[in-house]
Protein backbone atom coordinates (compact mmCIF):
# COMPACT_ATOMS: atom_id res chain seq x y z
CA UNK A 1 0.00 0.00 0.00
CA UNK A 2 1.30 3.43 -0.96
CA UNK A 3 0.17 6.66 0.69
CA UNK A 4 0.74 10.22 -0.53
CA UNK A 5 -0.29 13.41 1.24
CA UNK A 6 -1.16 16.85 -0.10
CA UNK A 7 -2.39 20.06 1.47
CA UNK A 8 -5.21 20.91 -0.94
CA UNK A 9 -6.75 24.40 -1.09
CA UNK A 10 -10.52 24.34 -0.76
CA UNK A 11 -11.33 25.84 -4.17
CA UNK A 12 -9.53 23.12 -6.17
CA UNK A 13 -11.19 20.51 -3.91
CA UNK A 14 -14.60 21.93 -4.83
CA UNK A 15 -13.59 21.78 -8.51
CA UNK A 16 -12.52 18.15 -8.23
CA UNK A 17 -15.85 17.25 -6.63
CA UNK A 18 -17.75 19.01 -9.40
CA UNK A 19 -15.73 17.11 -12.04
CA UNK A 20 -16.20 13.89 -10.04
CA UNK A 21 -12.47 13.43 -9.65
CA UNK A 22 -13.22 13.22 -5.95
CA UNK A 23 -16.32 11.13 -5.20
CA UNK A 24 -18.05 11.15 -1.83
CA UNK A 25 -20.22 8.08 -2.38
CA UNK A 26 -18.44 4.92 -1.26
CA UNK A 27 -19.81 1.66 0.09
CA UNK A 28 -17.91 2.04 3.40
CA UNK A 29 -19.04 5.60 4.05
CA UNK A 30 -22.15 7.14 5.54
CA UNK A 31 -24.35 9.32 3.35
CA UNK A 32 -23.51 12.97 2.83
CA UNK A 33 -24.79 15.77 5.08
CA UNK A 34 -25.14 13.81 8.30
CA UNK A 35 -23.77 16.75 10.28
CA UNK A 36 -26.05 19.31 11.90
CA UNK A 37 -25.87 22.94 10.73
CA UNK A 38 -23.93 24.03 13.86
CA UNK A 39 -21.24 21.44 13.10
CA UNK A 40 -21.15 22.50 9.46
CA UNK A 41 -20.77 26.11 10.52
CA UNK A 42 -17.87 25.21 12.81
CA UNK A 43 -15.96 23.65 9.92
CA UNK A 44 -16.24 26.80 7.79
CA UNK A 45 -15.37 28.96 10.79
CA UNK A 46 -12.32 26.81 11.58
CA UNK A 47 -10.99 27.06 8.03
CA UNK A 48 -11.39 30.84 8.02
CA UNK A 49 -9.47 31.10 11.32
CA UNK A 50 -6.70 28.74 10.28
CA UNK A 51 -7.60 26.12 12.85
CA UNK A 52 -6.45 22.55 12.31
CA UNK A 53 -9.06 20.43 10.50
CA UNK A 54 -8.83 16.61 10.45
CA UNK A 55 -7.52 15.20 7.16
CA UNK A 56 -9.48 13.43 4.45
CA UNK A 57 -8.56 9.90 3.36
CA UNK A 58 -9.17 8.65 -0.17
CA UNK A 59 -8.46 5.58 -2.26
CA UNK A 60 -7.71 5.93 -5.96
CA UNK A 61 -9.36 3.86 -8.67
CA UNK A 62 -8.88 4.67 -12.35
CA UNK A 63 -7.93 8.27 -11.71
CA UNK A 64 -10.82 8.92 -9.30
CA UNK A 65 -10.39 9.45 -5.55
CA UNK A 66 -13.11 7.81 -3.42
CA UNK A 67 -13.41 9.23 0.09
CA UNK A 68 -13.29 6.60 2.84
CA UNK A 69 -13.00 9.11 5.69
CA UNK A 70 -13.97 12.77 5.50
CA UNK A 71 -17.24 12.66 3.56
CA UNK A 72 -18.94 15.00 6.04
CA UNK A 73 -16.17 17.59 5.78
CA UNK A 74 -16.15 17.63 1.99
CA UNK A 75 -19.94 17.48 1.61
CA UNK A 76 -20.16 20.41 4.05
CA UNK A 77 -17.80 22.44 1.89
CA UNK A 78 -19.72 21.57 -1.25
CA UNK A 79 -22.99 22.51 0.43
CA UNK A 80 -21.65 25.83 1.70
CA UNK A 81 -20.36 26.83 -1.72
CA UNK A 82 -23.85 26.00 -3.06
CA UNK A 83 -25.47 28.32 -0.46
CA UNK A 84 -27.24 25.39 1.23
CA UNK A 85 -26.63 26.73 4.74
CA UNK A 86 -25.30 29.80 6.53
CA UNK A 87 -22.59 30.30 9.12
CA UNK A 88 -23.94 30.46 12.68
CA UNK A 89 -25.42 33.79 13.72
CA UNK A 90 -23.27 33.54 16.84
CA UNK A 91 -20.00 33.39 14.88
CA UNK A 92 -17.53 36.10 15.78
CA UNK A 93 -15.92 38.23 13.05
CA UNK A 94 -12.71 37.00 11.40
CA UNK A 95 -9.63 39.15 10.98
CA UNK A 96 -7.88 38.93 7.62
CA UNK A 97 -4.76 41.00 7.00
CA UNK A 98 -5.64 43.28 9.91
CA UNK A 99 -9.23 43.96 8.82
CA UNK A 100 -12.29 42.60 10.62
CA UNK A 101 -15.03 40.94 8.57
CA UNK A 102 -18.46 39.85 9.79
CA UNK A 103 -19.45 36.29 8.86
CA UNK A 104 -22.35 35.64 11.27
CA UNK A 105 -25.51 34.35 9.59
CA UNK A 106 -24.04 34.62 6.08
CA UNK A 107 -24.13 32.14 3.24
CA UNK A 108 -21.15 31.84 0.90
CA UNK A 109 -22.58 34.19 -1.75
CA UNK A 110 -23.03 36.96 0.85
CA UNK A 111 -19.49 36.86 2.22
CA UNK A 112 -17.11 39.70 1.47
CA UNK A 113 -14.87 38.79 -1.47
CA UNK A 114 -11.80 38.91 0.77
CA UNK A 115 -13.41 36.29 3.03
CA UNK A 116 -14.31 34.16 0.01
CA UNK A 117 -10.71 34.32 -1.17
CA UNK A 118 -9.50 33.34 2.29
CA UNK A 119 -11.79 30.30 2.31
CA UNK A 120 -10.77 29.38 -1.25
CA UNK A 121 -7.11 29.30 -0.28
CA UNK A 122 -7.52 27.54 3.08
CA UNK A 123 -6.22 23.99 2.91
CA UNK A 124 -7.27 20.52 3.98
CA UNK A 125 -4.80 17.65 4.10
CA UNK A 126 -5.85 14.87 1.72
CA UNK A 127 -4.29 11.42 1.86
CA UNK A 128 -4.40 9.45 -1.39
CA UNK A 129 -3.95 5.69 -1.08
CA UNK A 130 -2.89 3.51 -4.00
CA UNK A 131 -1.73 -0.08 -4.51
CA UNK A 132 -3.97 -1.33 -1.72
CA UNK A 133 -5.91 -4.52 -1.12
CA UNK A 134 -9.54 -4.72 -0.08
CA UNK A 135 -8.38 -5.97 3.31
CA UNK A 136 -6.11 -2.93 3.68
CA UNK A 137 -8.99 -0.53 3.05
CA UNK A 138 -11.39 -2.26 5.43
CA UNK A 139 -8.88 -2.49 8.24
CA UNK A 140 -7.84 1.13 7.80
CA UNK A 141 -11.51 2.20 7.78
CA UNK A 142 -12.08 0.26 10.99
CA UNK A 143 -9.12 1.92 12.71
CA UNK A 144 -9.93 5.42 11.47
CA UNK A 145 -13.44 5.07 12.87
CA UNK A 146 -12.53 3.23 16.08
CA UNK A 147 -13.23 6.32 18.18
CA UNK A 148 -16.32 7.55 16.33
CA UNK A 149 -19.92 6.87 17.46
CA UNK A 150 -21.01 4.62 14.57
CA UNK A 151 -24.35 2.89 14.96
CA UNK A 152 -24.87 -0.88 14.75
CA UNK A 153 -25.37 -0.96 10.98
CA UNK A 154 -22.29 1.17 10.33
CA UNK A 155 -20.15 -0.98 12.62
CA UNK A 156 -21.07 -4.08 10.59
CA UNK A 157 -19.87 -2.62 7.29
CA UNK A 158 -16.14 -3.44 7.66
CA UNK A 159 -17.03 -7.09 8.36
CA UNK A 160 -18.62 -7.50 4.94
CA UNK A 161 -16.76 -8.98 1.99
CA UNK A 162 -16.28 -6.83 -1.08
CA UNK A 163 -19.03 -8.79 -2.84
CA UNK A 164 -21.52 -8.27 -0.02
CA UNK A 165 -20.61 -4.58 0.34
CA UNK A 166 -21.19 -4.11 -3.38
CA UNK A 167 -24.55 -5.86 -3.14
CA UNK A 168 -25.69 -3.68 -0.21
CA UNK A 169 -24.40 -0.57 -1.98
CA UNK A 170 -26.32 -1.45 -5.17
CA UNK A 171 -29.54 -2.01 -3.24
CA UNK A 172 -29.42 1.20 -1.17
CA UNK A 173 -28.62 3.22 -4.31
CA UNK A 174 -32.15 2.53 -5.62
CA UNK A 175 -34.53 5.56 -5.64
CA UNK A 176 -36.89 3.68 -3.31
CA UNK A 177 -34.84 4.50 -0.19
CA UNK A 178 -34.54 8.23 -0.86
CA UNK A 179 -38.31 8.39 -1.42
CA UNK A 180 -39.58 6.11 1.35
CA UNK A 181 -37.23 6.93 4.22
CA UNK A 182 -36.95 10.18 6.14
CA UNK A 183 -33.78 12.27 6.11
CA UNK A 184 -33.07 11.24 9.70
CA UNK A 185 -33.40 7.56 8.78
CA UNK A 186 -31.03 7.96 5.85
CA UNK A 187 -28.49 9.73 8.04
CA UNK A 188 -28.66 6.82 10.49
CA UNK A 189 -28.01 4.27 7.70
CA UNK A 190 -31.45 2.69 8.08
CA UNK A 191 -31.29 1.96 4.35
CA UNK A 192 -28.22 -0.25 4.85
CA UNK A 193 -29.92 -2.06 7.70
CA UNK A 194 -33.02 -2.70 5.57
CA UNK A 195 -30.91 -3.98 2.66
CA UNK A 196 -29.11 -6.43 4.95
CA UNK A 197 -32.36 -7.55 6.59
CA UNK A 198 -33.94 -8.08 3.18
CA UNK A 199 -31.03 -10.30 2.18
CA UNK A 200 -31.41 -12.23 5.45
CA UNK A 201 -35.10 -12.88 4.80
CA UNK A 202 -34.47 -13.79 1.17
CA UNK A 203 -31.84 -16.31 2.35
CA UNK A 204 -34.03 -17.90 5.03
CA UNK A 205 -35.09 -21.46 4.18
CA UNK A 206 -35.47 -24.88 5.82
CA UNK A 207 -31.67 -25.20 6.13
CA UNK A 208 -30.81 -21.66 7.22
CA UNK A 209 -32.91 -19.49 9.50
CA UNK A 210 -31.98 -15.81 9.49
CA UNK A 211 -35.32 -14.50 10.75
CA UNK A 212 -33.82 -12.45 13.57
CA UNK A 213 -32.42 -8.95 13.29
CA UNK A 214 -30.46 -8.74 16.54
CA UNK A 215 -26.89 -7.49 16.20
CA UNK A 216 -25.24 -10.86 16.79
CA UNK A 217 -27.57 -12.55 14.30
CA UNK A 218 -26.66 -9.98 11.68
CA UNK A 219 -22.98 -10.63 12.36
CA UNK A 220 -23.57 -14.37 11.93
CA UNK A 221 -25.39 -13.81 8.66
CA UNK A 222 -22.59 -11.63 7.30
CA UNK A 223 -20.02 -14.29 8.19
CA UNK A 224 -22.21 -16.94 6.49
CA UNK A 225 -23.09 -14.90 3.40
CA UNK A 226 -19.80 -13.13 2.68
CA UNK A 227 -18.69 -15.77 0.17
CA UNK A 228 -22.18 -16.80 -0.96
CA UNK A 229 -23.44 -13.63 -2.63
CA UNK A 230 -25.60 -14.54 -5.62
CA UNK A 231 -25.64 -11.80 -8.29
CA UNK A 232 -28.84 -13.18 -9.79
CA UNK A 233 -30.63 -12.93 -6.43
CA UNK A 234 -29.40 -9.37 -5.95
CA UNK A 235 -30.77 -8.40 -9.38
CA UNK A 236 -34.18 -9.91 -8.53
CA UNK A 237 -34.21 -8.02 -5.23
CA UNK A 238 -33.40 -4.76 -7.00
CA UNK A 239 -36.10 -5.38 -9.61
CA UNK A 240 -38.61 -6.23 -6.89
CA UNK A 241 -37.84 -3.10 -4.85
CA UNK A 242 -38.13 -0.92 -7.95
CA UNK A 243 -41.51 -2.47 -8.77
CA UNK A 244 -42.68 -2.01 -5.19
CA UNK A 245 -41.63 1.63 -5.37
CA UNK A 246 -43.47 2.15 -8.67
CA UNK A 247 -46.65 0.62 -7.24
CA UNK A 248 -46.85 3.13 -4.37
CA UNK A 249 -47.98 6.73 -4.42
CA UNK A 250 -45.12 9.23 -4.31
CA UNK A 251 -45.78 10.42 -0.76
CA UNK A 252 -46.39 7.01 0.83
CA UNK A 253 -44.14 6.17 3.76
CA UNK A 254 -43.85 2.59 4.98
CA UNK A 255 -43.48 1.81 8.71
CA UNK A 256 -39.77 1.13 9.19
CA UNK A 257 -40.42 -2.20 10.88
CA UNK A 258 -42.22 -3.50 7.77
CA UNK A 259 -39.97 -2.30 4.96
CA UNK A 260 -37.58 -5.25 4.87
CA UNK A 261 -40.38 -7.82 4.98
CA UNK A 262 -42.23 -6.01 2.19
CA UNK A 263 -39.03 -6.01 0.13
CA UNK A 264 -38.75 -9.74 0.81
CA UNK A 265 -42.39 -10.31 -0.24
CA UNK A 266 -41.83 -8.31 -3.44
CA UNK A 267 -38.74 -10.46 -4.13
CA UNK A 268 -40.77 -13.67 -3.73
CA UNK A 269 -43.45 -12.36 -6.10
CA UNK A 270 -40.82 -11.59 -8.76
CA UNK A 271 -38.89 -14.81 -8.19
CA UNK A 272 -42.03 -16.97 -8.35
CA UNK A 273 -43.39 -14.91 -11.27
CA UNK A 274 -46.71 -14.19 -9.60
CA UNK A 275 -48.96 -11.20 -10.28
CA UNK A 276 -47.31 -8.05 -8.98
CA UNK A 277 -50.54 -6.11 -9.49
CA UNK A 278 -52.37 -8.37 -7.03
CA UNK A 279 -49.47 -8.10 -4.60
CA UNK A 280 -49.51 -4.30 -4.90
CA UNK A 281 -53.18 -4.29 -3.94
CA UNK A 282 -52.37 -6.31 -0.81
CA UNK A 283 -49.59 -3.87 0.09
CA UNK A 284 -51.92 -0.90 -0.41
CA UNK A 285 -54.56 -2.56 1.76
CA UNK A 286 -51.95 -3.34 4.44
CA UNK A 287 -50.69 0.26 4.55
CA UNK A 288 -54.17 1.77 4.48
CA UNK A 289 -55.41 -0.34 7.39
CA UNK A 290 -52.11 -0.46 9.28
CA UNK A 291 -53.28 1.61 12.26
CA UNK A 292 -56.22 -0.75 12.79
CA UNK A 293 -54.14 -3.94 12.45
CA UNK A 294 -53.97 -4.62 16.19
CA UNK A 295 -52.51 -8.13 15.95
CA UNK A 296 -49.68 -6.98 13.70
CA UNK A 297 -48.85 -3.87 15.75
CA UNK A 298 -49.00 -5.70 19.08
CA UNK A 299 -46.33 -8.07 17.80
CA UNK A 300 -43.94 -5.12 17.47
CA UNK A 301 -44.22 -3.94 21.05
CA UNK A 302 -41.75 -6.34 22.65
CA UNK A 303 -38.69 -5.82 20.48
CA UNK A 304 -38.90 -5.54 16.71
CA UNK A 305 -35.55 -7.24 16.12
CA UNK A 306 -36.26 -10.43 18.08
CA UNK A 307 -36.64 -13.77 16.33
CA UNK A 308 -40.27 -14.00 17.49
CA UNK A 309 -41.18 -10.61 16.07
CA UNK A 310 -39.35 -11.06 12.78
CA UNK A 311 -40.77 -14.56 12.35
CA UNK A 312 -44.31 -13.25 12.89
CA UNK A 313 -43.91 -10.62 10.15
CA UNK A 314 -42.27 -13.11 7.81
CA UNK A 315 -45.03 -15.69 8.29
CA UNK A 316 -47.69 -12.97 8.02
CA UNK A 317 -46.56 -12.10 4.50
CA UNK A 318 -45.83 -15.67 3.52
CA UNK A 319 -49.49 -16.47 4.20
CA UNK A 320 -50.56 -13.54 2.01
CA UNK A 321 -48.24 -14.67 -0.78
CA UNK A 322 -49.82 -18.13 -0.75
CA UNK A 323 -53.16 -16.57 -1.75
CA UNK A 324 -51.67 -14.87 -4.83
CA UNK A 325 -51.25 -16.44 -8.25
Higher pLDDT, 188 or 45: 45
Structure confidence at residue 139 as a pLDDT band (50, 70, 90):
confident
Strands 56-61 and 64-69: antiparallel
Structure confidence at residue 293 as a pLDDT band (50, 70, 90):
very high
The pLDDT tens digits for 188-220 are 789 999 999 999 999 999 899 999 999 899 999
115: left (phi over 0), alpha (psi -120 to 50) or beta: alpha
pLDDT at 28: 59
pLDDT at 61: 87
18 has a pLDDT exceeding 70 = yes
316 has a pLDDT exceeding 70 = yes
40 has a pLDDT exceeding 70 = yes
Residue 191, CA distances (Å) to 30, 103, 149, 212 in order: 11, 37, 18, 17
Range name among 178-192, 197-211, 254-268, 269-283 with the lowest pLDDT average: 178-192
Of 32, 193, 293, which is closest to residue 317 (Cα–Cα)?
A: 293
Amino acid sequence: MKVSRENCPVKPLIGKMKREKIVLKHKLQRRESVWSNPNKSLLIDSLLRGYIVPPVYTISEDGVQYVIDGVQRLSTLKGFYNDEFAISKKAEPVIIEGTEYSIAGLKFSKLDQVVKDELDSSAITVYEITEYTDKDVREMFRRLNSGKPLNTSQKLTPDMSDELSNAIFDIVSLPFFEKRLTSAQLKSSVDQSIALETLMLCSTNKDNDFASFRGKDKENFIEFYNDKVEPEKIEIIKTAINKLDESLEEDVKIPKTSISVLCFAAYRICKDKKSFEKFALKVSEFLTTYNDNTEYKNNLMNGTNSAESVRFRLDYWREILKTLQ
